[in-house]
Structure 1
Amino acid sequence: MASAVDPAQDQAWNGPEGVHWARTQDRWNAVNDGFNAPLLDAVGIAPDHRVLDVGCGAGRTTRLAALRAPHGHALGVDLSAPMLAEARALAARDGVGNISFVRGDAQTHPFDPGAHDAAISRYGAMFFADPVAAFGNIGRALRPGGRLALVCPSDPALNDWVTAMTSLRGILPVGDFGLPDRPGMFSLSDPGRVRAVLTAAGFTAVSVEETRAYGTWGRGAADAADFLLATGPGRHLMDRSDAPTRTRARTALTDRLRPHETPGGAVRLLSTAWLVTAARP
């Protein structure tokens, strides 16, 4: 049975955004690696567990899950062919053999029922067109008693990269960074909605706890500014602006990030997220 995919998300993650993430996966791991241990600890991976990684990207958390389950297996699923190519290459480089990857939309992919003991997602579960259907499908992939753990952004105002970008509103046409009831980075930022979605999808024992981690965004303020402006939201804003405006925005963002430089020159920004756990009955 073929897996249907969301056309808009398929186009985005196999276009410039997917290519960007694949090429810069080391940088994104430097941003988000602080959430790895809380995520993996929360789901309780045993040595023989079969783990499903939803929105696995270039496979960082999939590889870590596989290492925690040396007698089990980790399966990463993602829409992005460019990122999955990186994931397979990195798993081969690191000699992680109990791992595989599949291209598909976790909302509709025909997972083997009850084939997994645990499901995880680090910033990969916010883009579903129908989150109740998606988490229902993920739940059916879990055995009875299987556990789900995911990390998703909380309030945009509690994330330093967002406040840095919104500081450019006098220069660039910066709008809202997503709404809590529409697919996008902050679609699960309302904890009440998270609980309602997972409960409707058939999960029990839903817990939503705040977790925070600092990530490294660049080797200096100018480097971090260039990186932020090359991400999807930043690139969209810069593409709509003329050259002088782009220069002003880059200079202003560099100045805004300079106080976040460490003595060694790295730019460290705080990310605030929800650590969500739930169980399949």
Structure 2
Amino acid sequence: MSDQQGPQTPPSSEPTAAEHGTGRTELFDYDAELRLHNEHLRAAARVGSGDRVLDIGCGTGRTTREAARAAVTGSALGVDVSAPMLERAMRLSDDQGLPNVTYQQADAQVHRFPPEHFDLCISRFGTMFFADPVAAFTNIGSALRPAARLVLLVWQNRDRNEWASALRRSLTPATDTPSPPPSGPDAFSLADQDITEGILTAAGFTDVTFTDVHEPVYYGPDTATAFDSVLRLLKFQDLLADLDAATAEQARTRLRATLAAHDTGSGVYFDSRAWIITARRH
């Protein structure tokens, strides 16, 4: 993407992490990274004015707040395991005066939601790490009324996501030994359409559909900002933590070069492919 103008980041009423003030920039800004993807999720969700919406893996709550604004006589509940992200989510909801938003720190795989309560469940990249996906989606399904909709945004295969392959290569020493496969669920665990449809069908969902989403991810307005942003991602911090000091510095140098090659002049972008998955509770 370095030889062409990158996409313009759409305007947003939501502040970015950098706009929160001193002491509030430690969290990686997923909202900025995924802003173009967010447009697809919102369009697919089609939140109704009276919907009760459940948002799985809500992070700092942007998708929850957007759902709440659409559900003017309904409500939105955001669930996440991260206390720091939920703290920011609650602060933003208070600042924006949204009375129909609540958040709960919980593991959606096992949390006891009110039965058959929600009209719609959404998730923006929040459902790929379930240890037992059939059990997890069965639990989520129990919180949905019959015929309620499920709308997920998940990554396609790793080799279709430049952000994953290019950034990992830059932080990993060159070796002839292939990387071992992940030991458990990873960000691409719902990439295979047949496997994922089987999971959702076994969990009690029907009418499963997949829609291709081809948008870049965004890491910042320039290379320096993108470098700091990427190193806030835990998975990349872990890669560096396993290296000695000299090798880690070489990896940082490669990372800067990789980011610079993707600096379009209007931001640092990497190609990505995702699925919008929709289904209905049986």
* TM-score (ref. length: structure 1): 0.85
Q: 2:102 aligns with which of 92, 100, 121?
A: 100
Q: Please name the residue that 1:24 is paired with.
A: 27
Q: Please name the residue that 1:270 is paired with.
A: 271
Give the secondary structure class of the aligned counterpart of 1:278.
Answer: strand
Give the secondary structure class of the aligned counterpart of 1:230.
Answer: coil
C-alpha change, 1:210 and 1:177, in structure 2 (3 Å) is farther
**1:211 to partner: Cα distance:** 0.7
**1:22 to partner: Cα distance:** 7.9
**1:55 to partner: Cα distance:** 0.8
Q: 1: CA distance between counterparts of 2:26 and 2:139?
A: 30
Percent identity of paired positions between Structure 1 and Structure 2: 40
| Between structures 1 and 2, the one with greater helix share | 1
Number of aligned pairs? 258
Q: Please name the residue that 2:220 is paired with.
A: 218
Q: 2: CA distance between counterparts of 1:224 and 1:178?
A: 26
Q: Please name the residue that 1:91 is paired with.
A: 93
Q: Please name the residue that 1:4 is paired with.
A: none
Give the secondary structure class of the aligned counterpart of 1:23.
Answer: coil
CA contact (8 A) 2:168 2:236 kept: no
Give the secondary structure class of the aligned counterpart of 1:56.
Answer: coil
Q: 1: CA distance between counterparts of 2:257 and 2:180?
A: 22
Matches within 5 A, 1:202-217: 202-217=204-219
Q: 2: CA distance between counterparts of 1:148 and 1:177?
A: 29
CA contact (8 A) 2:222 2:265 kept: no
The amino acid that maps onto 2:173 is G
Matches within 5 A, 1:20-169: 23-25=26-28, 27-168=29-170, 169=172
Matches within 5 A, 1:2-17: none
The amino acid that maps onto 1:62 is T
Q: 1: CA distance between counterparts of 2:169 and 2:223?
A: 15
Q: 2:230 aligns with which of 214, 228, 231?
A: 228
The amino acid that maps onto 2:193 is P
Q: Please name the residue that 2:4 is paired with.
A: none
Deviates more, 1:232-241 or 1:56-65: 232-241
Give the secondary structure class of the aligned counterpart of 1:71.
Answer: coil
Q: Please name the residue that 2:190 is paired with.
A: 188
The amino acid that maps onto 1:154 is Q
CA contact (8 A) 1:226 1:250 kept: no
**1:237 to partner: Cα distance:** 1.3
Describe the superposition over 1:213-262 as per-residue Cα deviations: whole angstroms up to 9, x where unpaired: 22320232243233323312211111111222122111112112222112
Structure with bigger RCO (C-alpha 8 Å, 6+ apart) = 2
1:170 corresponds to 2:169: no
**What are structure 1's unaligned runs of at least 5 residues?**
1-20
Describe the superposition over 1:150-178 as per-residue Cα deviations: whole angstroms up to 9, x where unpaired: 01111111112112223234359993674
The amino acid that maps onto 2:270 is L
Q: 2: CA distance between counterparts of 1:252 and 1:143?
A: 50
Q: 2: CA distance between counterparts of 1:260 and 1:203?
A: 40
The amino acid that maps onto 1:164 is A
Q: Please name the residue that 1:247 is paired with.
A: 249
C-alpha change, 1:91 and 1:174, in structure 2 (3 Å) is farther
Describe the superposition over 1:90-132 as per-residue Cα deviations: whole angstroms up to 9, x where unpaired: 1101111111011111111111111110000001011111111
C-alpha change, 1:232 and 1:177, in structure 2 (3 Å) is farther
CA contact (8 A) 1:178 1:186 kept: no
> What is the RMSD of the two structures over their aligned residues, measured on CA atoms?
2.2
